[in-house]
Amino acid sequence: MTSAPQHVTVLLHEAVDALLGRPTAELGLDAEGKEGRLFVDATFGRGGHTRLLLSRLGPLDRVLAFDKDPDAIAEAARISDARFSIRHQGFRHVGELSPGTVNGLLMDLGVSSPQIDVSERGFSFRREGPLDMRMDPTRGDSVADWLATADVDQISEVIRDYGEERFAFPIAKAIVARRQASGPLSTTLELAQLVAGAVKTREAGQDPATRTFQAFRIFINAELEELEQALDASLKLLVPGGRLVVISFHSLEDRIVKQFMAKHSKEVYDRRTPFAVPPAMKLRTLDRIKPSAAEVAANPRSRSAIMRVAERTEVPA
């Protein structure tokens, strides 16, 4: 009998330390006895960050989580802690929370190991499965549905913009030619093999289909748009001193996070009114952390992770 895929939480202690501002070795009630705080795990996954966070909080603190994946919701049901609740929603919905109520907001982006390793989810180019890739398989179109009607230019644009793939156009042409000759693609290995035939060169150690699968997953789940919406929402949600912690796994995500934090961590002068007081900074950038060599050795999937941390500044009266 094959055991269920196990997910190893990336930057586990580092992320919780960043949210709370204290090392995880200091267990028990955090922040000198302050209670009644709200922390949001915007991407629950398999709950590693949430479980450690709950172990650090006081009896009146709360953790609210969000996740699209029904499997994540099922995993969350195993947490029997009255301080915890979860919503079956994407993390763009954090913006629906009341302004100025969140003490810490965590976003751990990307795909969990069980999603990749369970072939039925359609995320892996190494395992045969339906060409799906939806974070929530109960809502919206699958990758196969979209590829059944999209034209060459649409497919090429997605592969180029979300996968940063220089062979985007040949791959798109091959997908449409295959559809016209023998019907739409329906499985992951069909797509992976077709991409391999269209990609002429690739970096050593990287599967030719890596960037195309990344692009389709990001597109079909609107991941970058959702990230931008959640980041914007963080400015109104976080209390002064509240922490924003974001873990990303590829350059497109990290670029958005980096630029967002940089934009709101500096005073902007209006050249038209040089003597006016500039608008106050909304964030203070605190840190950029990558997994240690030991973590990467134990969990190679962590090697591309980058965690950025910022703090909400005092809101002017």
Write out pLDDT tens, residues 289-303: 999 999 999 999 899
User: Which residues in the chain belong to E strands, given as ranges?
Assistant: 38-41, 62-66, 84-87, 102-108, 238-248, 283-289, 306-312
Residues of the chain predicted below pLDDT 70: 1-6, 22-35, 113-114, 116-117, 204-205, 267-279, 315-317
pLDDT of residue 207: 84
- The residues that bridge with 238 in the sheet, in sequence order, are 102
Our measurement of the distance from residue 98's CA atom to the centroid of its chain's CA atoms, rounded to an integer in Å, reads 22
List every span in the chain annotated with CATH 3.40.50.150: 12-113+223-312
Taking CB atoms within 8 Å and a gap of at least 24, the contacts of 199-206 are 199/165, 199/167, 199/170, 199/171, 200/167
pLDDT of residue 317: 38
Task: Write the DSSP assignment of 116-137 as a string of letters.
Answer: HH-GGG---SSS--BS---SST
Classified by CATH at the fold level, domain 12-113+223-312 comes out as: Rossmann fold (3.40.50)
pLDDT of residue 145: 96
pLDDT of residue 270: 53
Burial status of residue 224 (CB atoms within 10 A of its CB: 0-12, 13-18, 19 or more): middle
Retrieve residue 78's tokens. 């195993």
List every span in the chain annotated with CATH 1.10.150.170: 136-220
Quote the DSSP letter at residue 314: P
242 touches 229 (CB < 8 A): no
**Cα distance between residue 116 and residue 7, in whole Å:** 10
**Cα distance between residue 250 and residue 175, in whole Å:** 25
pLDDT of residue 110: 75
**Cα distance between residue 176 and residue 87, in whole Å:** 38
Its pTM stands at 0.88
Q: What is the mean pLDDT of the chain?
A: 88
214 touches 168 (CB < 8 A): no
pLDDT of residue 266: 78
Q: Could you report the per-residue pLDDT of 59-81, keeping only the tens digit for each?
A: 999 999 999 999 999 999 999 99
**What CATH number has the domain spanning 136-220?**
1.10.150.170
